[in-house]
Amino acid sequence: MAEIIIVRDQAEAGSLAASIIIGKISSNPATVLGLATGSTPLSTYAAVAQAVRDHRIDVSGVRGFALDEYLGVPPQHPESYRSVITREVVEPLGLNPDQVFTPRGTGEHIGQAGAEYEALIAGAGGIDLQILGIGSNGHIAFNEPGSSLASPTRIKALAEQTRRDNARFFGNPDEVPTHCITQGLGTILRARQLVLLAFGANKAQAVAAALEGPVSSVVPGSVVQQHPHATVIIDEEAASTLAHAEYYRHAWRSAQELDAVGF
């Protein structure tokens, strides 16, 4: 079962998630991060960037792999995930852009891009810590409902709900791509640690289904239940439909008390 931490707001969540990431980098300067995009991880990236500046943390050896990329969108497009990762992660954190990768969404032989990305991740020794969000329909990365629980990086059609959710990043809804290339659920489960973030009442049903429902391809986010080292950080609104929220709060308080006494 994932460790579930319920916090007040995104700022607290970002600070907590950042402490996990900084701890990983401090213990391993060549940490490989799996990088999510969208609004959910922004408070985390901001807190990591602040810690890097304040404590002069060396991130020159950190490598990163984005979860996904739109199909047919060139890397220089402002809403490509290559551009988003550069703006929101590489530049604020001071990462080496040559060590941060996104799946290839353009070019010849695009059907081979998934296998190419899997090989890149394997060549880096695998992902140490994967940052995740969850969509309102339960998707993680762009693994829409029905995705195989063992799926590798591959091309997927985007659900209409996902396209509507992402329309705010484009000039009009018709500009949102219909397909993407995404890390698969099997790829995500191979990461050594997962940190999943979710905020807001619109994520509450997806969070409850992912954390307390059955593990199912209908709710791709439910695969976090199968991971041996998964931390879920959510705000009160996202936790509002959890049946066992009080237990999760108790377990987190108990864990902090044990840490305080050096157990």
Per-residue pLDDT at 261 exceeds 80: no
pLDDT digits (tens, 9 = 90+) for 39-50: 999 999 999 999
Cα–Cα distance between 166 and 144 in angstroms, integer? 14
pLDDT digits (tens, 9 = 90+) for 96-128: 999 999 999 999 999 999 999 999 999 999 999
What was the pLDDT predicted at 165? 85
Q: Does domain 3-260 have CATH number 1.20.1630.10?
A: no
Higher pLDDT, 129 or 160: 129
Instruction: Kindly indicate the confidence band of residue 2, based on its pLDDT and cuts at 50, 70 and 90.
Output: confident
Q: Strand 154-157 vs strand 179-182: parallel, antiparallel, or unpaired? A: antiparallel
Can you give the residue ranges of every domain in the chain? 3-260
Question: Is residue 144 flagged as an active site residue?
Answer: yes
What was the pLDDT predicted at 259? 74
Question: Is residue 139 flagged as an active site residue?
Answer: yes
Question: Is residue 109 flagged as an active site residue?
Answer: no
Of 118, 128, 144, 235, catalytic:
144
- Hey, how many other C-beta atoms are within 10 angstroms of the C-beta on 49? 18
Of 69, 118, 137, 166, catalytic:
137
Average pLDDT, the chain: 95
pLDDT digits (tens, 9 = 90+) for 190-230: 999 999 999 999 999 999 999 999 999 999 999 999 999 99
Instruction: Kindly indicate the confidence band of residue 260, based on its pLDDT and cuts at 50, 70 and 90.
Output: low
pLDDT digits (tens, 9 = 90+) for 11-38: 999 999 999 999 999 999 999 999 999 8
Instruction: Kindly indicate the confidence band of residue 262, based on its pLDDT and cuts at 50, 70 and 90.
Output: low
Of 118, 139, 165, 166, catalytic:
139
Question: Is residue 137 flagged as an active site residue?
Answer: yes
pLDDT digits (tens, 9 = 90+) for 161-172: 889 888 888 878
